[in-house]
Amino acid sequence: MQINPSLLGAHLQKSLKSLYTLHGDEPLLIQEALDTLRAAARAQGFGERNVYTASGTHFDWGEPLAACGSLSLFADKQVVELRIPSGKPGKDGSAALQQLAQQAQGNDSTLVVVILPRLDRLTQSSVWFAALESGVTIEVTPIERNALPQWIAQRLTVQGQRVAAGEEGQRTLQFFADRVEGNLLAAHQEIQKLALLYPAGELGFAQIESAVLNVARYDVFKLSEAVLSGQAVRVQRMLDGLQAEGEAEVLVHYTLAEDIRALKRVKDAINLGKPLPMALKEQRVWGTKERLFARALPRLDAPTLSQLLLSAHQVDGIVKGLKVQGWPHDSWQALARLAMRLCRLCGPGSAAAR
């Protein structure tokens, strides 16, 4: 049984199962889901909590198994939390997790909570994860940039605060989101800070501008999505942020170049008569990028993509210390020019391909 994290509270009001699995890479949301589970468990008499972290090759899987198979020494009911930071339990761990899931069935005296990082499709199809799915699984996904303003507004509402209605309020929320993008834990802290600084009620733009720190964190994969979406202002902000954070220029270039190569290969396949879904699948383009590629490809013709591919090759040389005529000598400036060139072509209104 899989449920959305936002529905966990409502689920727990109806019943508390004996096995829960949380997986995802958003520490704040994982912690909040854990807190909700623990509170529900305490309310139902689970007075003892044992925590195990399966890290390293010498972890004794027998310990959590023994804890789940025995009665609590100090309380009638107990919670057993098992953290697997790597998401890879190995052969022994796989067998132990299957046994753990089996022990949890019908066990009203022990609540088992397994905490995992984000899992790929292959791991989610494993035998041990299938065993955990006999309980309740909760996949905690990141809050995407386009959903971040609404998430901030909801959190403000919980503490009795709000922004102005209409366009002014939306501008305030967008500003807030720009300052905390990619750093949800810091975003939560900035929201809590507003409750300490200002009373309940409406918050103006000036109040948020003066109080909220710039704690945004970016990664190259989100940069790729911003470029393919044609979000020029966001792309420049992300490039500045990546440079300030010390990200390797070669990784930024690799991400941009891979997108250009994939776009070129998909376009060539389409020109040879292959349907777009088949061409995307062959190039292993799926998820968010599948949608972005489908929207960008009609705006890009083969000659344009060939020129972009040449530009990517030239920037590769600049990143490695070479000088290329007609390009900035600075690696980040060259990367910005390449990113903006692709960004403008993918953006709405581009006339590159007709």
Residues 40 and 122 in one domain: yes
Domain end among 182, 211, 240: 211
- Among 211, 241, 261, the domain-final residue is 211
CA distances 137 to 3, 142, 160, 222, Å, are 7, 16, 32, 26
Q: Domain holding 306: CATH number?
A: 1.20.272.10
Res 139: pLDDT: 93
Query: What pTM was computed for the model?
Result: 0.71
pLDDT of residue 74: 54
**291, 320: one domain:** yes
Tally of domains in the chain? 3
Cα(293)–Cα(300) distance, rounded to whole angstroms? 10
Which residues are within 8 A (CB) of 233 and not within 5 positions of it... i.e. 6 or more apart? none
Pair 130, 14 in one domain: yes
Q: What phi-psi label fits residue 62: left (phi over 0), alpha (psi between -120 and 50 degrees) or beta?
A: alpha
pLDDT at position 52 is 92
Q: In terms of residue numbers, what domain contains 70?
A: 5-140
User: Within this chain, do residues 159 and 122 fall inside the same structural domain, yes or no?
Assistant: no
| CATH number of domain containing 203 | 1.10.8.60
pLDDT tens digits in sequence order for the chain, 354 residues long: 888 888 898 999 888 999 999 999 899 999 999 999 999 999 988 888 889 998 877 889 888 888 887 655 555 788 999 999 999 988 889 999 999 998 888 788 889 999 999 998 889 999 999 999 999 999 998 888 889 999 999 999 999 999 999 999 999 999 999 999 988 999 999 999 999 999 999 999 999 999 988 888 888 888 999 999 999 999 999 999 999 889 999 999 999 999 999 999 999 999 999 999 999 988 888 888 899 999 999 999 999 999 999 999 999 999 999 999 999 999 999 999 999 999 999 987 655 544
DSSP state of 164: P
- Is residue 118 in some structural domain? yes
Q: Are 215 and 180 in contact (CB under 8 A)?
A: yes
For residue 352, being part of any structural domain is answered with no
Among residues 185, 211, 237, the one where a domain terminates is 211
* Same domain flag for 30 and 119: yes
Strands (E) located in the chain:
19-24, 46-53, 77-83, 110-116, 136-140, 161-163, 201-203
What pLDDT is recorded for position 332?
Answer: 95
